[in-house]
Amino acid sequence: MCPTEQVKQLNSLEPSAPETQPLRASGIHARAGWAAAIIFANATFSIAAPTCALAANAPDMVFARLGGEQGLSQGGITAIVQDATGFLWIGTEDGLDRFDGYELRHFIHARGDSGALPDNWIAALARDTSGRLLVGTDNGGLVWRDPASGRFRRPVTSAGRALLNPELKIRALYVDRRQRLWIATRAAGIWLLDLAQGTSQGFRRIPAAPNSLSDDSTFALAEEASGRMWIGTATGLDRLDPESGRVEQFGARLRAAGAPKDGTVKVNALHADARGVLWIGLDSGLARFNPSATAFTMLAHRDNDPGTLPDGRVTALLEDDEQRLWVGTSNGLVLLDRVTDRCTVWRHDPANLNSLPDSNIVSLYQDRSGLLWVGTKTGGVARWNPRSWSFGHHRFSEAEGDSVTSFAVDSRGVLWVGSFGAGVASIDPFNGAVKRYRRGPEGPFALHDDNIMAVVTDDHNRLWLGTMSAGVERLDLSTGKVTQFNYAADDPTTLPARGVMSMLRDAQGRIWVGTYGGGLARIDPETDRVFRYPNGRDTASALPGDRATALAQDRTGLIWIGTDGGGLNVLDPASGRIAHFPHDAKDPTSLSANTVYAVHVDDQGGMWVGTRGGGLDHAIGAPFSDVPMRFQNLAESEGLPNSTVYGIESDVGGRLWLSTNRGLAVVRPQDRSVRGFRRSHGLQSDEFNFGAHYRAPDGMLYFGGPNGYNAFRAEHLLFNDKPPPVVLTDVLKLTTSVTPTPELLHDLAVSFRDSAVTFRFAALDFTAPAENRYAYRLEGFDAGWTDAGNGRQATYTNLDGGKYVFHVRAANSDGRWSDLPVSVNLRVSSPPWGSWWARTLYGLALVGVIFSVWLAQQRRLHREATYARRLQRDVDDRTAELAERNRDMELANQQLREASVTDSLTGLGNRRRLRDAMAVLYGSEALHPERRAGPVARCVLMIVDLDYLKPINDQYGHEGGDAVLIQIADILRRVFRSVDTIVRWGGDEFVVLCEHADLEGASVLAERVRSAISKRLFQVSDGSVARASCSIGFAPVPFIPGHPELLGWEQVMNLADAALYQAKQARNAWVGWGGTARATELPSLPATLAADPAAAEKQGFLVVRRGPLNATDTVDEMRRLQAPVIR
């Protein structure tokens, strides 16, 4: 039960009046050594306790019912037996039923059918060592079932004659040590059959003969160790010696021992136990006969003594494999303590669907897996798993409150159990005595609230109780004094809220209190001072929520706090720091949910967190570490039975036990394997309460819920380790059902017309059939085993003709797999078109078809080859023709491309070629240091402008000027390298992009150009020559070293043009300049240089080079150079 549900229940409760008897005993615990004697020692039920408490609070037995709603033929169960295969046979007053754990198959009388039952009233059932099922009927005598054919047959002599009267009214069957069958009849005495020899012998009452039966009406049989047979009759008890045929009558002794003296000593049931004691079930009670003492003892009902037999007839007796003696009566099922002769009784409870379906018990049986089967008069069959008692289910009476919320064990070994609505109870470990402490008037031991949410003990014989509405109460067990720590709105030294959700006593003895609505508090037991811790989502140093649901202290002393909606938090008590670990939907390593119900420290110091809806989390890392703590989750998808974990405890073997809304789960941390347990295993309920979990110092585990609690040692739990028998229950050929007889299993023939075959199977383990698991494989078809889970059938369709073997195996609810699978030899016939001769014809036809196809293919290939050769010739000719045309077009395109970037007069490049070169340069690694590993290369843009071309044009015309330009182009080609780009920019102006050059190298090149032009006599017409000079300006690219991004090439071109302007002032000169690293400081570099280059040079922004190199290096001297002479 979650905290919210508990609060709702509290709000619905009326204030209870103080109880006048705060101490009250509860019978389930009022027995000596209850934990060891009942559950863990040898699974026997030994009770020594006040009888009134015992009978009123019998240990819980969870019965599974099988009645008319489940398909049982009739509710009156006369006999139960398990056959050699493992099927359970149930005799009723109207037919015989076979149960496979899931379905019932009915067998009834059919008139005219000699292989059917002779009568529907089944009076007795037995099984001999040969595996035959023996059926005794009320009005049809005895039959046995042939397992091969499934038919019922009558026993006959070697000559084929009937061994028995077919109209015998049979009442009991018994197979003795010599495998002879004893038959008790309603009016024909006793019959002894040797079925192997085909012989029979009758024993009847002979009037006035004391050595004969006391009555021909017989009802019960038992065999003592000597081989003599005990016979219960309608008027007494007899013992028969089979060898001599002599009979001893014990009716008089029974009456003398206390049986009714009116002569009606009717014996309904007999059992000779393992100690040799004979138990006699009578209409008037139960008698015990000890042959060594030759004395009878009567155990009868006594009014006002619930520890005696219930009022009614004893109808059945059974000693189970743990030597517990069960007694069926007409007023309940009894477990007898043969040491004390005390009785524990279970009856039908209309309000409890897990109780007996009827209190009138008719038959008892224990199957091979240890289950107890109870046949009733009108309610059908009930089954109970004795292993469920190993989980130690304990209940208080309904008035004392069964909803358990908390546990603690004090230094004396006393168990304290907190409950919802019934205060706290103490259970003495030596005698099981129970004392209850409840709400009452002010006084010793009187509490203020009956809703106990947490229990903690200290070293001073004091009990600390967290309540739902009265804060924390400290009970001094020596004086009875109750000290209350409650909430006061105006007092910060009190608890922050009245409702307590969790408590913890840490290693220092301090009491930590998690409240509902107030967050966390701490109580100092020495001073009784209360310290509150802040809570609120707005403060990182506070608890992000006001409901502290779980508390734990790790090995380092940190306090781990689970909250309702605020995730997991860790408090360092020394510094007051709080680390928060909320759920983050985007982070799979975060806490799986924000509501935490349990925090657990395992024996190795590992931290585990149980959440609501998120499963189990394992905390990995340290809370205050630099490395973030992460969580590894285990959820339902990995086998957890439920995603809400209310409690976590470690057993002595290191496994984790979890309480959930679907029972308990045990987890092995090493491999994360999970195993679940439900109410059918003996749990108090499938649902548990949050906070109701505890591990005692002796290793006992406690888990509480709405129906009491479980107390057990994990290492002492009992499980079903018997491999379950597996059977085929049905075979379907398409839709036709076929009974799976032994012959069928050996050779199951399936026609090709049956397009599907279905196998249905069952594991004959009845503990929890819904939890049995199956795996199957069809050898010859499946590569491996198919895990069918809980599914019980396998279907195969359209199987090829041939032989197969179907295998199926099963595991019981405790995971024990069958040793050997059941196998079926399957033979699927092939259709006529799949026979050997049909396949031969198919093969010959296929060969013929293949040859015909091959021959046609060869002819086609020949034709295609001839055509392909002809076509290839045409293609080659056409390809050659197209290739010639492509070469011509490529050449024309190349000429066009070259013409588009070439000056038609000089053959140099034009402006377009320079732009293309600059685009390549600015996109290359040359200007971008981040693109190359070595130093940055620089280039230079140089402008060459003729000084006196106009006079030549004026005198000789443009033809003369063009001749000079052509010769200038030749000079430039000789001076510059092939890698440099030389273009005619326009008119008499040329531009050169000098690759891998700096200002110094450019100065040399400029001087060469100037000198070559000034010394050249240019041919301008026939016999006429002229002189010319040039002015040159240049600038590096990038203009500032290492910063190509500051100026584009057009801006560098403008700066080179500005340098040319300076050179033009003198003519026949050159000027080059480049920026320094300081130039990056100028806001507008081009404008500054253009405005006053001298100042820029003086300030260190500019580096300037001037020429000619062999002349005076001033502008005024350059102006005095002679102009070109024309002659």
SS3 for 542? Answer: coil
Q: Output the pLDDT for position 221.
A: 98
Residue located via tokens 């033009």:
1064
Confidence of residue 553 (pLDDT cuts 50, 70, 90): very high
Which residue, among 431, 500, 420, 427, has the nearest Cα to 464 in the 3D structure? 500
In sequence order, which residues have a C-beta less than 8 Å from that of residue 29 and are 6 or more positions away? 394, 427, 432, 433, 434
470-485 pLDDT, tens digit each: 999 999 999 999 999 9
Strand order in the sheet with 568-571: 548-553, 559-563, 568-571, 578-581
Q: Output the pLDDT for position 890.
A: 81
Same fold for the pair 1-18+403-485 and 726-830? no
In sequence order, which residues have a C-beta less than 8 Å from that of residue 437 and are 6 or more positions away? 22, 23, 423, 424, 425, 426, 445, 447, 475
Q: Output the pLDDT for position 754.
A: 83
Q: Output the pLDDT for position 51.
A: 29
Q: Output the pLDDT for position 927.
A: 57
Average pLDDT over residues 677-686: 92
Second CATH level (architecture) for the domain 1-18+403-485 = Beta Barrel (2.40)
Reply yes or no on whether the pLDDT at 663 is more than 60: yes
Q: Output the pLDDT for position 85.
A: 94
Residue of 450, 988, 1057, 1116 with catalytic role:
988
Q: Output the pLDDT for position 6.
A: 54
| Peptide bond preceding 1108 in cis form (omega within 30 of 0) | yes
DSSP structure class, residue 681: G
Confidence of residue 1114 (pLDDT cuts 50, 70, 90): very low
Average pLDDT over residues 761-772: 95
Reply yes or no on whether the pLDDT at 218 is more than 90: yes
Q: Output the pLDDT for position 923.
A: 75
Which residue, among 1074, 1075, 1073, has the nearest Cα to 1106 in the 3D structure? 1073
Reply yes or no on whether the pLDDT at 732 is more than 80: yes
Q: With pLDDT > 90 as the criterion, what percentage of the chain qualifies?
A: 70
Confidence of residue 29 (pLDDT cuts 50, 70, 90): very low
Residue 931's CB is within 10 A of a number of other CB atoms, namely 11
Amino acid at site 608: W
| Residue with more model confidence, 679 or 831 | 679
Q: Output the pLDDT for position 882.
A: 86
| Residue with more model confidence, 237 or 158 | 237
Residue located via tokens 């002229």:
1026
| Peptide bond preceding 310 in cis form (omega within 30 of 0) | no
Phi and psi of 65, rounded to 5°?
A: -100, 150
| Residue with more model confidence, 20 or 573 | 573
CB burial string 208-220: b at 16+ within 10 A, e below: eeeebbbbbbbbb
Reply yes or no on whether the pLDDT at 65 is more than 80: yes
Q: Output the pLDDT for position 552.
A: 99
Q: Output the pLDDT for position 1034.
A: 97
215 is catalytic: no
Cβ atoms 1033, 1059 nearer than 8 A: yes
Q: Output the pLDDT for position 2.
A: 67
Average model confidence (pLDDT) across the chain:
89
Q: Output the pLDDT for position 398.
A: 63
Q: Output the pLDDT for position 893.
A: 76
Reply yes or no on whether the pLDDT at 929 is more than 80: no
Reply yes or no on whether the pLDDT at 32 is more than 50: no
Domain residue ranges in the chain: 1-18+403-485, 726-830, 907-1119
Residue located via tokens 């105006």:
490
**Check whether domain 726-830 has CATH 1.10.1060.10, yes or no:** no
Reply yes or no on whether the pLDDT at 673 is more than 60: yes
Burial of 496 (0-12, 13-18, 19+ CB in 10 A): buried
Q: Which CATH number fits domain 907-1119: 3.30.70.270, 3.40.640.10, 3.30.70.380, 3.40.50.620?
A: 3.30.70.270
Q: Output the pLDDT for position 937.
A: 56
Q: Output the pLDDT for position 762.
A: 98
Q: Output the pLDDT for position 1087.
A: 78
Reply yes or no on whether the pLDDT at 804 is more than 80: yes
Q: Output the pLDDT for position 14.
A: 38
128-155 pLDDT, tens digit each: 988 899 999 999 999 999 988 899 999 9
User: How much is the CA Rg of the chain, to the nearest whole Å?
Assistant: 54
Phi and psi of 721, rounded to 5°?
A: -100, 10
Reply yes or no on whether the pLDDT at 558 is more than 90: yes
Reply yes or no on whether the pLDDT at 913 is more than 60: yes
Reply yes or no on whether the pLDDT at 397 is more than 80: no
Alpha carbons 805 and 797: distance in angstroms, whole number:
15
Confidence of residue 901 (pLDDT cuts 50, 70, 90): confident
| Residue with more model confidence, 770 or 264 | 770
| Residue with more model confidence, 204 or 1088 | 204
Average pLDDT over residues 988-1010: 94
- Widest CA span of the chain, in angstroms? 184
Alpha carbons 562 and 308: distance in angstroms, whole number:
51
Average pLDDT over residues 659-676: 96
| Residue with more model confidence, 40 or 585 | 585
Confidence of residue 337 (pLDDT cuts 50, 70, 90): very high
Confidence of residue 361 (pLDDT cuts 50, 70, 90): very high
Q: Output the pLDDT for position 936.
A: 43
Confidence of residue 538 (pLDDT cuts 50, 70, 90): low
Token code pair at residue 1073: 């300049």
Task: List the Cα angle 317/322/326 in 5-degree steps.
Answer: 20
Average pLDDT over residues 647-658: 98
Residue 1046's CB is within 10 A of a number of other CB atoms, namely 16
CA distances, 471 to each of 453, 498, 500, 503, 1124 (Å): 10, 4, 6, 11, 118
Reply yes or no on whether the pLDDT at 932 is more than 60: no
Cβ atoms 662, 675 nearer than 8 A: no
Confidence of residue 11 (pLDDT cuts 50, 70, 90): very low
Q: With pLDDT > 70 as the criterion, what percentage of the chain qualifies?
A: 91
Confidence of residue 52 (pLDDT cuts 50, 70, 90): very low
Alpha carbons 457 and 434: distance in angstroms, whole number:
18
1009-1040 pLDDT, tens digit each: 999 999 999 998 877 899 999 999 999 999 99
265-307 pLDDT, tens digit each: 899 999 999 999 999 999 989 999 998 877 899 998 999 899 9
Q: Output the pLDDT for position 159.
A: 84
